[in-house]
A and B are shown apart, each in its own frame.
Chain A
Amino acid sequence: DGGITQSPKYLFRKEGQNVTLSCEQNLNHDAMYWYRQDPGQGLRLIYYSQIVNDFQKGDIAEGYSVSREKKESFPLTVTSAQKNPTAFYLCASRSSDRVAHGYTFGSGTRLTVV
């Protein structure tokens, strides 16, 4: 079955470390997105990519970086510059020709700073 796979499910980061969250989709979707979820704040957009080798900053990109070398993959790196990285991270994708169907989401990664 087609879908989005996020890994790991839980991730622990020490102060000053960079960590990378994986997001892979086999839906043949062109666009991919990363959102951060904090209690009481809904989902906020970090980065998005509409095609391979191209991506744009969202509303809260500071302290994060991404790459899009393959259509299927859109990894997110949380750098040491992100001062409050503890959150739930969701990856999503969207079909270019079925915009009205919204996004398909992965199951998320819970990142905790220890």
Chain B
Amino acid sequence: AQTVTQSQPEMSVQEAETVTLSCTYDTSENNYYLFWYKQPPSRQMILVIRQEAYKQQNATENRFSVNFQKAAKSFSLKISDSQLGDTAMYFCAFMKPRVGAQKLVFGQGTRLTINP
């Protein structure tokens, strides 16, 4: 079974700083998807960024980018120029794109606080 590990339960940075959240996963699959979801205090889950394992290029969405290291099974999220609105729980998630259930497996989450 796939597992996803986020080793940083909590992080805190000053506004405008850059922060990196870590995620590692365990799988024997060669093709899969990886996601970062954000859960602000409202508790609504919001997709931040996604990466397809067969793509070499790291995904980027505005201030959010990933460092995908397939051999190391690592998928970290970098937030540049952090803003107060980035304060949230962040979850890393894994999905096998096999025909069928395509279940998302989540890490334990990292609570990120952006301080003014």
Q: What is A's interface to B at a CB cutoff of 8 Å? A: 31, 33, 35, 40-45, 48, 50, 56, 58, 88, 90, 92, 94, 99-103, 105, 107-108
Contact = CB atoms under 8 A, between A and B. Distances in A.
Given A92-B104, A99-B95, A105-B45, 19 more contacts: A31-B101, A33-B103, A35-B106, A40-B108, A40-B109, A42-B108, A50-B100, A56-B101, A58-B103, A94-B102, A99-B33, A99-B97, A99-B102, A100-B33, A101-B47, A102-B93, A103-B104, A107-B43, A108-B44
A92 B46 CA distance: 11
A92 B102 CA distance: 12
B28 interface: no
B50 A40 contact: no
Interface string B50-73: 101000000000000000000000
B42 interface: yes
A40 B45 contact: no
B45 A42 contact: no
B101 A102 contact: no
Interface residues of B, number: 27
Interface SS, A side: strand
A69 B87 CA distance: 39
Contacts of A45: 103-105
Contact of B9 (A35, A40, A90, A107): A40
Contact of B91 (A43, A48, A88, A107): A43
B35 interface: yes
Contacts of A94: 102
Contacts of A107: 42-44
Most buried by B among A48, A58, A105: A105
A45 B100 CA distance: 15
